[in-house]
Amino acid sequence: MSLKLYYDLLSQPSRVLYIFVKTCNIPFEKKIINLGKMEQHNPDYEKVNPFKKVPAIEHNGFNIIESVAILRYLCREFNVADHWYPKDSKAQIKVDEYLEWQHLNTRLHCGSYFHQKYLIPRITGEPITKDIMDYENRMIDCLNLLENVWLKNKPFLAGSDISIADLVGSCEVEQVRLAGYNPHEGRPHLTAWMNRVADKTNPYYQEAHVFIEKLSNMIKEDTPRSKI
């Protein structure tokens, strides 16, 4: 196959790309990079992505890193439905607005909370510190902006139909469940939106989140204690 996707479904952006290519019937070769085994540091993969992160793609010998750039590229290079990344400038900019906003909001705050509450304690063996409350409060503010601003008057982030912005946003929010936080509680707009995203990309959304679902259920029973 001409398209190779390097990914690990534990990674939020990896899940985004996996769901997208499967939903859009884009043929691809699976190149799983096991983050738990530190395979992103293998010399062969470093040639694909010198930053040693996932996801990445190789298309006809051309390497691309950064998930948002990859999504835009795939929308241009393959025959996908226009709603994913509309050609109309005004419709497209609404998708881009969220994609630009999310870097220092959904991605930053949900990711930081996940790292501080779940990942770092399990890697280092150290307990969660009281600083977690600062990370949690910033994440809560971000989730509330999704609820009260982005999704207040529309079913999807960029309008009336699903776009790549929705995949990016929803997969980021899913990740905080691994840290024992329920993003749905008290957020009916966000909850309905995530359900719509899952329904629109069924069964691939669910398929991509099987491990996350299993792990989040396990974590509910075994959450590290915090120094608060």
For 69-85, the pLDDT digits (tens) are 999 999 999 999 999 99
Could you tell me where in the chain the CATH 1.20.1050.10 domains are found?
A: 89-222
pLDDT of residue 219: 72
Do residues 127 and 186 lie in contact, with contact meaning Cβ atoms separated by under 8 Å? no
Element (H, E) at 226: strand 226-227
Least confident interval from 57-66, 70-79, 157-166, 213-222 = 213-222
Domain 89-222 has CATH 1.20.1050.10: yes
Parts of the chain belonging to CATH 3.40.30.10: 3-80
What's the predicted TM-score (pTM) here?
0.93
Taking CA atoms, 175 is separated from 15, 76, 115, 139, in Å, by 11, 28, 10, 12
Superfamily of domain 3-80: Glutaredoxin (3.40.30.10)
Express each pLDDT in 131-156 by its tens digit: 999 999 999 999 999 999 999 999 99
